[in-house]
Amino acid sequence: MAKIVKFGNFEENPEENKEKAIDEVVSQSQSDEEMQIKKAVEEHILANFAVKNVLGMDIVYKINKSDIGVIGTVAYEHK
């Protein structure tokens, strides 16, 4: 059996916890942004092409000022 012994500072640094929380919020907002872009691309495909259902999507996007560039692959069911 092993025992962990810590020497030195026993208090956790509150700054590290704040940084972790900020990183989690940023990653969560990026995933929300990605889901919104995927939803918008899916709606655009359904409205403008002869697509019955989008089965899967793998996209990469870049936001540049007011434009969003999207490239990727889409699996769909034809009408």
pLDDT in tens, 53-68: 999 999 888 888 888 8
Q: Which two tokens mark 76?
A: 């769909």
How many domains does the chain contain in total?
1
Residue 52, pLDDT > 90, answer: yes
| Residue 6 maps to a domain | no
Q: What is residue 73's DSSP assignment?
A: E
Q: Which pLDDT belongs to residue 31?
A: 79
For 21, half-sphere exposure in the C-beta direction (CA atoms, 13 angstrom radius) is 5
Domain that holds residue 58: 16-78
Asked whether residue 9 is domain-assigned, the answer is no
Tell me whether residue 27 is in a domain: yes
Write out pLDDT tens, residues 2-39. Answer: 454 555 555 555 555 666 666 666 666 667 888 888 99
